[in-house]
Amino acid sequence: MVSGILAVLLSGTVAPAAAASPGSEPVYDYAKAVRETVWVDIGRDGDGDGRSDRVAADIVRPSEATSRVPVIMDASPYYSCCGRGNESELKSYDSAGKPVKFPLFYDNYFVPRGYAVVLVDLAGTNRSAGCADVGGASDVDSARKVVDWLNGRATGYSAKTGGSAVTASWSTGNVGMIGKSYDGTIANGVAATGVAGLKTIVPISAISSWYDYYRSDGATFGFNPAGLAQTVEARNSGQNCSAQNQVLTQGATANGDYGPLWADRDYVRRAGTVRASVLLSHGVNDLNVKTIHFGQWWAGLNVEKKIWLSQTGHVDPFDYRRADWVDLLHRWFDHYLLGIGNGVQNGPQASVERQPDQWADQSAYPAAGAVATTLRPGVSGTLGTSPASGTASFTDNPGLGEDTWVTDPGSAALTYSTGSLASDLQVSGTTSLTVTATPSTSSARLSALLVDLGPATIRNFAGSGEGIKTGTSETCWGSSTSGDDACYRVATADAKKVSYTILSRGWADLANYASLSQERPLTPGTAYTMTFRLASTDHIVPRGHALALIIGGTDGSFIRGPAQPGRVTLDLARTSASVPLLGIPPAATTHPAPAVGEHVPSADRADLR
């Protein structure tokens, strides 16, 4: 039986909406649409060839429109190297270089409805000049300058070099940026500049701070931005990006310090300058662009915003809730780009997937009424609000990962549990953990998990589809041509029964206890206090399950271990978690937690597509 918070949320009950204005209709002939490329000058010489870089903006727009039209833009580095969407679509061109294939359904669906769709090749990728700088000024300006051009503030040309000036006389100047992963990240970055004309962004599984993609509170994930730059530049011959790649290599120091390169790519610092509305989507089990990204970005925004949180990994909502997503995008763009009063900005702020294909609306994210609650580990393995005392130790074993920590931690990790809950407990927001730790060696890592101990059916986010199975049947969304069809394979939920669910993770290097910008040597036998974050989430731990906090050293599923793994001792009186909770946690309990048995391996994903 579903009970408490979960029963209310799964009911999905919302107040009746007021009558909305009609939306845009498919009145334009997609086959007759204008297809062209304009190269926009971004005012930088990233490849050092002595010329200002121009980025390629491939445009498709209704030819019959008698008035100016707004723009939906997806700026990406992946249009020739890696592809977009679940079917990895690439751009294609005819023999004269005119664009034919526009990846994804945006052009097929929205151009007949009176929109232009503009797909921008970031500097150094596909047909653009320059070099990729992985979220830096060149990447961001690749899209920002196109927004400027659409508003008459930048210069576009008919060719990559030379050519004649081209204006966007057909554009209203209203732009909405959309994209998954790297593409959505660029939307965040452009919005953080406050550029005029950008009316809305739709970041899907997007990065908000590149530091948090490659590092975590001093800990390192083991991959670096120069490798990604070289991947996206690989099919763009004739450019020398070695100098820019060296900048990335030197700036991304081998340790986890937060330095100037990361500060330049930290959009959260500038979230207060965002003027565009935000429709955000993220998988709460995304192990690629981890969920701290949406949590900190969301918290910094002061604009109209809505959020979808799925149980998937790194997956586009088009592939897990297709019809509802297309309908929402249609109404969202109609409102913010065409000015149609359809009320899409009203109603529940959040929609959260509680079980595969079972969604619940919430009035807010984090959930209204959720309170930062201090939970303390007890020496007997309890987790509650009562004060604690004593010490506990673990021995760092970088060869073990999170699932072993849950099922059979041995001496590698410490488990603290609420015991069986008398009522539902919702974790909604971002958790932080404060530890006072004494290392036995001069280097130490810290990792922590929040775990729902109890059986559930979830999306198989650790599987090859990260929670979806792609079939062979197709559905079509918009108009097609011989070179660009609007039909995409249907994906269904890949569900799995589990005995526990890891709902939040966090990692840190104890050497950064005093400063994220500069690690300090550790003295064996000396106690250090450090606070670090666990990933943002929204999860209900049902009555009868237990909420557990697991603390250990190197979580080998994700981070690199220290030079000298050793034993770490926690002062429990000065160790606690601040967890955003809706519901009543126990003060402390000796009731047993539900047993866990199934080992469910998970894998870190460094593919940013």
Name the residues annotated as catalytic: 181, 286, 314
CB-count exposure of residue 59 (10 Å: 0-12, 13-18, 19+): buried
Q: How many helices (H) and strands (E) does the chain have?
A: 11, 31
Number of CB atoms found within 10 A of residue 584's CB: 13
C-alpha 157/C-alpha 283 separation (Å) is 39
Output the six-digit token pair for 91. 């751009």
C-alpha atoms less than 13 angstroms from C-alpha of 93 in its C-beta half-sphere: 14
Distances (CA, A) of 232 to 123, 463, 560: 10, 26, 25
Instruction: Note if the bond before 203 is cis, omega within 30 degrees.
Output: no
Report how far residue 584's alpha carbon sits from residue 83's, in angstroms, rounded to the nearest whole number: 47
CB 239 within 8 A of CB 130: yes
- Which has the closest alpha carbon to 400: 572, 257, 289, 550? 550
- For 114-143, the three-class secondary structure string (H helix, E strand, C coil) is CCEEEEEECCCCCCCCCCCCCCCHHHHHHH
Would you state the structure tokens that stand for residue 545, as one six-digit string? Answer: 């399950």
Angle, alpha carbons 547-212-256 (nearest 5°):
105
Tally of CA atoms within 13 A in the half-sphere of 416 that contains its CB: 27
Could you tell me the CA-to-CA distances from 182 to 5, 91, 263 in Å, in that order? Answer: 35, 17, 18
Cβ neighbour number for residue 457 with a 10 Å cutoff: 14
CA distance 439 to 452: 29
Amino acid at 491: A
**544 in Cβ contact with 428 (< 8 Å):** no
